[in-house]
């Protein structure tokens, strides 16, 4: 069974009841997404399916900035052509980044992404993975890869799905920067805070709202929406599967408790742990 990393070097984990705070924790490097950080994040999100008592994950950066992107110095060091038959570690590392983004995107728990300071390259991509993304007004976002002569390879599927092809093309080919309000306007962010105090208040209010919802219902709703977004499945099939999700939920302990609480005009008492 996957477990959270012990004594992580590149991230910091804080547990407060049903909420897990995941901090990118290399502020001296603007929380650049180096291989070690990616590995620790992947281990964290791989452990979450086995942690039903965690209901909300908050992903943010230490030191007042979110993530300045990938390991540019590492990319430069790897820019020489490969020798015949040489293992392509750069390709493997790039693909691992995509696997990380997918694990964040498909987490069963509600994921809140908080952006302060820079969200460049891979940071831009991670900002697009939040079920709810909350940003500072003065945050700076950019798909900056093409300004460095490289390609936004692993983030592109998630960015296009988040903001659509038209907007993604604009930012991909120009590397143009957006502030927090502009990020909200194009669909990256949901909430914008103008002060640090307002940001923390928004985070707390969002967590409180999510915790009013049943954890298994949240997980199934996310999975259903992902099936819809992927496309390719006939509408009849989608609706049939959605009906199965619905009746399963209604007949589950969560559904029984939620509907009973509504009838009795009280707050539902959600059990911690899926399947209870």
One pLDDT digit (tens) per residue for the chain, 276 residues: 689 999 999 999 999 999 999 999 999 999 999 999 999 999 999 999 999 999 999 999 999 999 999 988 888 888 889 999 999 999 999 999 999 999 999 999 999 999 999 999 999 999 999 999 999 999 999 999 999 999 999 999 999 999 999 999 999 999 999 999 999 999 999 999 999 999 999 999 999 999 999 999 999 999 999 999 999 999 999 999 999 999 999 999 999 999 999 999 999 999 754 444
Element (H, E) at 72: helix 72-77
Tokens of 228: 């819809």
Predicted local distance difference test score (pLDDT) of residue 276: 42
Phi, psi of 112 (to 5 degrees): -105, 125
Cα–Cα nearest to 155, from 184, 183, 126, 130? 126
Give the start-end residues of each E strand in the chain: 11-16, 19-24, 56-61, 110-115, 118-120, 132-136, 140-142, 191-193
Burial bucket for residue 79 (CB in 10 Å: 0-12, 13-18, 19+): exposed
What per-residue confidence (pLDDT) applies to 191?
99
The pLDDT assigned to 78 comes to 84
> DSSP code of 178?
B
CA distance 68 to 142: 9
Residues 6+ apart with CB under 8 A from 241: 224, 227
* DSSP-derived pairing of the beta strands 118-120 and 140-142: parallel
Tokens describing residue 172: 């991909």
DSSP annotation of 9 reads S
Q: How far apart are CA 8 and CA 5, in angstroms?
A: 6
């Amino acid at each position: 069974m996957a477990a959270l990393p012990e004594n992580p070097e590149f991230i910091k984990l804080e547990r407060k009841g049903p909420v897990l705070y995941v901090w990118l924790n290399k502020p001296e490097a603007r929380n650049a997404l180096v291989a070690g950080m990616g590995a620790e994040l992947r281990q964290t999100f791989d452990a979450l399916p086995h942690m039903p008592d965690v209901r909300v994950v908050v992903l943010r950066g230490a030191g007042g900035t979110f993530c300045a992107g990938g390991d540019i110095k590492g990319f430069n060091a790897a820019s020489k052509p490969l020798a015949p038959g040489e293992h392509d570690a750069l390709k493997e590392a790039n693909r691992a980044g995509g696997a990380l983004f997918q694990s964040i995107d498909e987490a069963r728990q509600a994921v809140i992404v908080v952006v302060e300071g820079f969200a460049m390259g891979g940071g831009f991509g991670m900002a697009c993975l939040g079920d709810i993304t909350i940003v500072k007004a003065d945050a700076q976002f950019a798909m900056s890869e093409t300004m460095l002569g490289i390609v936004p390879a692993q983030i592109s599927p998630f960015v296009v799905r988040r903001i659509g092809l038209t907007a993604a093309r604009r930012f991909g080919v120009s590397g143009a920067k957006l502030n927090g309000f502009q990020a909200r306007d194009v669909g990256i962010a949901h909430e914008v805070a103008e002060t640090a105090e307002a940001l923390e208040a928004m985070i707390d209010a969002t967590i409180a709202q999510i915790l009013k919802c049943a954890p298994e219902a949240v997980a199934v709703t996310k999975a259903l929406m992902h099936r819809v977004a992927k496309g390719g499945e006939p509408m009849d099939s989608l609706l049939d599967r959605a009906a199965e999700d619905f009746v399963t939920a209604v007949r589950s302990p969560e559904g029984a408790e939620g509907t009973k609480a509504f009838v009795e005009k009280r707050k539902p008492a959600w059990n911690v742990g899926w399947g209870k």
